[in-house]
């Protein structure tokens, strides 16, 4: 018999799976051998037949596995495609002219608005610095002129001395030479003459010294004037660089961002005015939507000045007589002709729309309120075209436009025989103008009947045109009756809108929270003032009373006849007065001191009669403007 095989004590390696993992050991069935000996293959080399009752296992070759993998991949791709198509069909259709709303358009608009507002601040600061340096230069020039005049006078005096000295004899020049032992009696006279000669010499020397000092001082003033003028020129160059920077930014603005920028305004407005404002805003956004759908980015104003050399794809826009209109163009898109405005105009109009509802405030250029010229100055500066807040200078900076060639963004002026140029706004089409006019008490869209006085500031004039109305010396009123509300020329009546005191419809007023309502410009100014107050004290203004209806006035007068106005005469009935609390209702507090120092910045006034030494002291009572 052959010798038996030696049994190894080392465990045999188990077969590994395709992934390399070792399968768990199977528990042996009862009655089966646990021997580790490997079964021998049959002698004939064939596989053993499967046992009855069990299906034979299918052997999957690698080719079959690849075939099924491809089937599963095709099935998954088809399913994904079907889901994508269904999702696309589930989206609502986009109407023609509707502005696409990318998820970040509002954020970009907010960033753009903040960036351009900051640039406007830098521009105005540089101009103010230039003005200050120019004032210093003028003062130095004036002082230098005075010094030069003094030098001329001193030199004339020195010249007279020199001429007199030249004409004197030798004895007059040197009296001591006349001393002689032979004439002792003349010694006194000679010494006296010598003293006079020396005194004259000292006076001449002093005059020469003064002349030299005056000449040095004149030169110093000249140098100071030159240095100040150089500093002023540098500041003006800095301001110009800011405008270049701004124009570079607005030239890249996508129309969708401009559309969102225009819609950033949140100031309260009366119902009827809100409808008018919203309709105008929708028209503007619709126009920007058409530009976006056509893939048109508004070009810079400089690219539209020459009708014969317009950017590719643009053609001249012509008026009814066939004359090309300067500063704008047209493009054929979507089966229609589309007016293409300059990038600066798109930015200025969008900026103006974003200020809708801000209050009218005399001589202000934002951000809490505007005069008529202050609004146009701010929005055009934010567009890269620097305008001052002077109506005459704004007129001089543009090219006059006839009524038949008016385009959106043109400055439309109103005139008054008492003031000359009196109001200004941005043309929106038809008879609509967006302005900060006193007759609307806030930034709003309104109608202007006479459109004959207009300029286009994107087209520089060859020479400034004469204004349509001569200045009279009376300040512009922005369409307000003289005197303008809120000016020191008041007080004026609080009546407005044709309503009776205490009988103003609720929808004509704007909410300031807590159930309180005011005329909309007063509400916007109050909210801005309350925000500033909250920054100082941590909480907004505390208010107990605002608009008071006639019935409420009757009730208040019945309860407090001594401190309330006769019903129908209270400025609460005009929605232009508030009663405050939270410390403002007591004289001598920090809150009252803050109001006295800052309320005027927002157009709010503490009437004389309500002050501590007034006829009826009421620290809590404040009014919007100087009212009767």
Last residue of a domain, one of 282, 314, 346: 346
Which own/partner pairs from 503-511 qualify as long-range (CB within 8 Å, at least 24 positions apart)? 503/549, 503/550, 503/573, 504/547, 504/573, 504/574, 504/575, 507/270, 507/271, 507/272, 508/270, 508/271, 508/272, 509/270, 509/547, 509/575, 510/268, 510/269, 510/270, 511/268
Residue 55: is its pLDDT beyond 60? no
Categorize the per-residue pLDDT at 382 as very low, low, confident or very high, splitting at 50, 70 and 90: very high
Residue 510: is its pLDDT beyond 90? no
- Residue, of 202 and 284, whose pLDDT is higher: 284
Mean pLDDT computed over 571-595? 93
Contacts of 162 (CB under 8 A, 6+ apart): none
Mean pLDDT computed over 335-349? 95
If asked whether residues 228 and 285 sit together in one domain, one would say no
What is the pLDDT, as a whole number, of residue 621?
A: 94
Categorize the per-residue pLDDT at 490 as very low, low, confident or very high, splitting at 50, 70 and 90: low
Q: 199 in a domain, yes or no?
A: yes
Last residue of a domain, one of 250, 276, 295: 250
What string of DSSP letters covers 480-530?
PPSSPTTSTT--B----TTPPTT---GGGEEEEETTEEEEHHHHHHHHHHH
If asked whether residues 284 and 239 sit together in one domain, one would say no
If asked whether residues 618 and 547 sit together in one domain, one would say yes
What is the pLDDT, as a whole number, of residue 35?
A: 40
Tens-digit pLDDT profile for residues 213-241: 777 777 888 888 899 999 999 999 999 99
Tens-digit pLDDT profile for residues 173-208: 565 555 555 666 565 655 555 566 556 666 666 666
Residue 319: is its pLDDT beyond 50? yes
Half-sphere exposure of residue 611: CA atoms within 13 angstroms, side-chain side: 9
Residue 265: is its pLDDT beyond 60? yes
What is the pLDDT, as a whole number, of residue 619?
A: 93
Categorize the per-residue pLDDT at 154 as very low, low, confident or very high, splitting at 50, 70 and 90: low
The answer to which of 265-279, 342-356, 421-435, 609-623 has the lowest mean pLDDT is: 265-279
What is the pLDDT, as a whole number, of residue 431?
A: 93
pTM over 0.75: no
If asked whether residues 599 and 528 sit together in one domain, one would say yes
Number of helices and strands in the chain (H, E): 12, 15
What is the pLDDT, as a whole number, of residue 57?
A: 47
If asked whether residues 134 and 246 sit together in one domain, one would say yes
Mean pLDDT computed over 564-586? 90
If asked whether residues 203 and 320 sit together in one domain, one would say no
Contacts of 621 (CB under 8 A, 6+ apart): 577, 578, 579, 606, 607, 610
Mean pLDDT computed over 253-259? 95
Q: 535 in a domain, yes or no?
A: yes
Last residue of a domain, one of 291, 321, 346: 346
Q: Give residue 190's Cα distance to chain centre.
A: 85
Which own/partner pairs from 194-200 qualify as long-range (CB within 8 Å, at least 24 positions apart)? 197/172, 197/173, 200/161
Sheet holding 411-416, edge to edge: 399-400, 454-456, 411-416, 420-429, 432-437, 442-447
Q: 283 in a domain, yes or no?
A: yes
Residue pair 207/122 in contact by the 8 Å Cβ criterion: no
If asked whether residues 520 and 567 sit together in one domain, one would say yes
**Which residues is 140 bridged to in the sheet?**
none
Maximum Cα–Cα distance for the chain, whole Å?
182
Between CA 619 and CA 600 the distance in angstroms is 15
If asked whether residues 123 and 230 sit together in one domain, one would say yes
Q: 209 in a domain, yes or no?
A: yes
Total number of domains constituting the chain: 3
Residues in the chain: 628
Cβ burial, residue 541 (10 Å; 0-12/13-18/19+): buried
Residue 561: is its pLDDT beyond 70? yes
What is the pLDDT, as a whole number, of residue 80?
A: 43
Residue 355: is its pLDDT beyond 90? yes
What is the pLDDT, as a whole number, of residue 171?
A: 59
Between CA 518 and CA 522 the distance in angstroms is 6
Q: 482 in a domain, yes or no?
A: no
What is the pLDDT, as a whole number, of residue 7?
A: 39
Categorize the per-residue pLDDT at 20 as very low, low, confident or very high, splitting at 50, 70 and 90: very low
Between CA 373 and CA 416 the distance in angstroms is 15
Mean pLDDT computed over 16-38? 41
- Residue, of 15 and 263, whose pLDDT is higher: 263
Mean pLDDT computed over 484-488? 47
Q: Where is mean pLDDT largest: 47-56, 136-145, 327-336?
A: 327-336
Q: Give residue 175's Cα distance to chain centre.
A: 82
What is the pLDDT, as a whole number, of residue 187?
A: 56
What string of DSSP letters covers 578-626?
EEEETTTTSTTSHHHHHHHHHGGGGTEE--GGGSTTSSS--TTEEEESS
Contacts of 573 (CB under 8 A, 6+ apart): 501, 502, 503, 504, 547, 548, 549, 550, 553
User: What domain range includes position 135?
Assistant: 119-179+188-250
Residue pair 362/484 in contact by the 8 Å Cβ criterion: yes
- Residue, of 437 and 11, whose pLDDT is higher: 437
Residue pair 253/349 in contact by the 8 Å Cβ criterion: no
Nearest to 509 by CA among 576, 446, 571: 576
Residue 536: is its pLDDT beyond 70? yes
CATH number at residue 586: 3.30.1380.10
- Residue, of 121 and 211, whose pLDDT is higher: 121
Between CA 578 and CA 520 the distance in angstroms is 14
If asked whether residues 337 and 221 sit together in one domain, one would say no
Residue 596: is its pLDDT beyond 80? yes
Nearest to 369 by CA among 242, 231, 522: 522
Between CA 327 and CA 305 the distance in angstroms is 5
Q: 367 in a domain, yes or no?
A: no
What is the pLDDT, as a whole number, of residue 406?
A: 96
Sheet holding 315-318, edge to edge: 315-318, 324-333, 336-340
Nearest to 268 by CA among 535, 575, 605: 575
**Which residues is 370 bridged to in the sheet?**
360, 365
If asked whether residues 246 and 266 sit together in one domain, one would say no
Q: 268 in a domain, yes or no?
A: yes
Q: pLDDT exceeding 70 applies to what percent of the chain?
A: 71
If asked whether residues 570 and 606 sit together in one domain, one would say yes
Question: Chain-wide mean pLDDT for the chain?
Answer: 79
What is the pLDDT, as a whole number, of residue 188?
A: 66
Q: 103 in a domain, yes or no?
A: no
DSSP, collapsed to helix, strand or coil, labels residue 136 as helix
What is the pLDDT, as a whole number, of residue 472?
A: 67
What is the pLDDT, as a whole number, of residue 556?
A: 83
If asked whether residues 166 and 134 sit together in one domain, one would say yes
């Amino acid at each position: 018999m052959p010798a038996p095989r030696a049994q190894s004590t080392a465990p045999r390696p188990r077969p590994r799976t395709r992934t390399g993992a070792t399968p768990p050991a199977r528990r042996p069935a009862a009655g089966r051998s646990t021997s580790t000996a490997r079964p021998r293959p049959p002698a004939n080399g064939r596989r053993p037949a499967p046992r009855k009752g069990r299906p034979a296992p299918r052997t999957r070759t690698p080719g079959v596995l690849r075939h099924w993998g491809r089937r599963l991949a095709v099935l998954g791709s088809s399913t994904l495609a079907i889901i994508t198509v269904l999702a696309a069909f589930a989206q609502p259709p986009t109407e023609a002219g509707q502005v696409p709303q990318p998820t970040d358009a509002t954020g970009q608009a907010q960033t753009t608005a903040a960036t351009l507002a900051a640039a406007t601040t830098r521009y105005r600061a540089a101009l103010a610095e230039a003005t200050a340096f120019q004032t210093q230069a003028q003062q130095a020039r004036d002082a230098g002129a005075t010094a030069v005049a003094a030098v001329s006078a001193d030199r004339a005096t020195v010249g007279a001395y020199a001429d007199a000295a030249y004409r004197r004899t030798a004895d007059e020049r040197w009296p001591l030479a006349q001393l002689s032992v032979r004439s002792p009696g003349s010694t006194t006279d000679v010494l006296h003459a010598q003293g006079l000669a020396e005194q004259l010499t000292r006076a001449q020397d002093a005059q020469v010294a003064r002349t030299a000092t005056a000449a040095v001082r004149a030169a110093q003033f000249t140098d100071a004037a030159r240095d100040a003028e150089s500093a002023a020129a540098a500041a003006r160059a800095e301001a110009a660089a800011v405008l270049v920077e701004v124009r570079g930014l607005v030239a890249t603005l996508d129309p969708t961002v401009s559309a969102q920028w225009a819609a950033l305004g949140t100031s309260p407005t009366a119902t009827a005015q809100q409808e008018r404002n919203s309709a105008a805003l929708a028209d503007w956004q619709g126009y920007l939507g058409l530009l976006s759908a056509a893939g048109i980015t508004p070009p810079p104003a400089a690219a539209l000045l020459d009708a014969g050399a317009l950017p590719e794809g643009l053609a001249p826009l012509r008026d009814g007589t066939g004359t090309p209109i300067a500063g704008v163009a047209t493009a054929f898109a979507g089966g229609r002709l589309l007016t293409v405005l300059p990038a600066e105009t798109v930015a200025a109009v969008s900026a103006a729309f974003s200020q809708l509802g801000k209050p009218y405030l005399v001589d202000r250029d934002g951000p809490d309120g505007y005069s008529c010229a202050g609004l146009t100055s701010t929005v055009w500066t934010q567009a890269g075209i620097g305008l001052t807040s002077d109506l005459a200078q704004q007129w001089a900076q543009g090219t006059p436009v006839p009524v038949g060639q008016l385009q959106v963004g043109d400055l439309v002026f109103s005139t008054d025989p008492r003031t000359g140029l009196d109001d200004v706004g941005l043309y929106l089409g038809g008879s609509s103008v967006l302005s900060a006019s006193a007759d609307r008490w806030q930034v709003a869209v309104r109608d202007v009947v006479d459109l004959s006085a207009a300029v286009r500031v994107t087209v520089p004039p060859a020479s400034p045109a004469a204004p349509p109305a001569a200045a009279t010396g009376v300040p512009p009123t922005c369409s307000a009756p003289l005197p303008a509300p809120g000016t020191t020329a008041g007080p004026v009546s609080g009546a407005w809108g044709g309503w009776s005191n205490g009988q103003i419809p609720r929808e004509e007023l704007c909410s300031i929270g807590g159930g309180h309502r005011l005329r909309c410009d007063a509400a916007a100014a109050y909210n801005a003032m309350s925000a500033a107050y909250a920054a100082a004290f941590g909480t907004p203004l505390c208010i107990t009373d605002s608009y008071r209806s006639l019935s409420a006035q009757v009730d208040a007068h019945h309860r407090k006849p001594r401190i309330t106005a006769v019903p129908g005469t209270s400025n609460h009935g005009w929605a232009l007065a508030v009663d405050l609390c939270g410390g403002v209702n007591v004289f001598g507090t920090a809150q009252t001191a803050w109001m006295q120092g800052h309320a005027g910045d927002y157009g709010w006034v503490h009437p004389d009669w309500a002050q501590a030494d007034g006829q009826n002291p009421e620290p809590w009572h404040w009014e919007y403007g100087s009212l009767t």
